[in-house]
Every structure is written in structure tokens, then in C-alpha cells.
Amino acid sequence: MRTASCHRPPTPCLGIITGSCAEAGIDLWQKILAANRSRMGPAYRGDIDAPMVHVISVPRIGGNYRPLEADDNYEKVWSSLKQAILDLAPHVSVFVVACTTLHEYADRIEALRLTPQFLSYVEVVERFLVGISPESIVGVIGPQWTAMDDCGIYSPWQQVCQLELQSVQRSQELFLQ
């Protein structure tokens, strides 16, 4: 029996690390599939046109870790996350950690200097924010400390635009209007 695997080259392969909010990995994968279908339009033939992906779910990276630095688990979470990244790296072209909070480890991830590109949520949003008006209000969904505290991963964005924290319930209300 043959098993499919992602090898660089010839076929690019995406890596998703999940486990801290495991649903975030599923949600990301569903959005990638929908975007791919939309991008291909009528040329989309089904599964054969879906991107290749490796998903690793690592429950040890989950939990309540705020503030991460003050938590006894900070180094344990990093150790588990790092091992997942090292296990995934030989099989993918690019990878993402499907948990915004864990992007607090972005500097450590980048310091690994791995061949696959690390796709940081924070950097992607920063690139988007550069093009908007400073008067723009950007809604952030998440806990207060993730978004707004001085040490929160989104705090630098407050210099680019106005951030407005939204609860998940409130954000659903806004999207359904």
C-alpha cells in the first residue's frame, strides 16, 4: 500500500500545526479549501485540485497560558511546539501555527532557520494594515490580553490603526447584520 507524503519539490505542501484550540486548524483548512475553490473557479475539478497538506494536532500546546511568560508551562509548550515544527518541516514547503496566541513564539520559530517558510498570522495582518487609513477601526476577536495589552501580540497594531476588541458573540452579531 502506498501512502501519500509531501516532499519538497515537486509538489508544494502546506503544514498546519494545531492543538491549541484544535478547531482553529480545522477552520483554517476549511478556509484554504474554500479560497482554493474560489480562486480556481470553473476549472476546479474537486479533490484532485485541493492543496496538499499535513496537519499535526499537538494537544500539549493547548491550555490557558496567559501571560505566557509567567506560566510554568511556557517552556513546556515551546518544547512541544518546537518538536512538532521539526517533525513537520521535512514534509512541507510552508507551515502555520493555527493559534494566534502561540505566535508569541514567532521569534523562536524564525530562529530555527528552517527551510520551509513560517507563515505568521501577525505578519500577514501587519502587511494588510499598512495599506489602510490610520482612522480605520479594526475589530479584533479574542481575549483582552491577546489583543490590547502592551505585551499582546497585536499591541503594535495600535500605532497603525484603532483596535476595537470584540467578543466572539458580538462579532457574530456584526457579521450577521
Lowest pLDDT segment from 76-80, 97-101, 127-131 = 127-131
What's the CA gap between 75 and 69, in Å, rounded?
Answer: 9
- How many helices (H) and strands (E) the chain has is answered by 6, 6
Confidence of residue 80 (pLDDT cuts 50, 70, 90): very high
pTM: 0.75
Contact yes or no for 103/97 (Cβ under 8 A): yes
Residue whose C-alpha is closest to residue 123's, from 113, 136, 110: 110
Q: For residue 118, list its beta bridge partners.
A: 95
3-state helix, strand, coil in the chain (%, to 5): 50, 15, 35
Lowest pLDDT segment from 24-28, 65-69, 104-108, 165-169 = 65-69
**Res 10 pLDDT > 80:** no
Query: What is the reported pLDDT for 41?
Result: 95
Query: What is the reported pLDDT for 48?
Result: 92
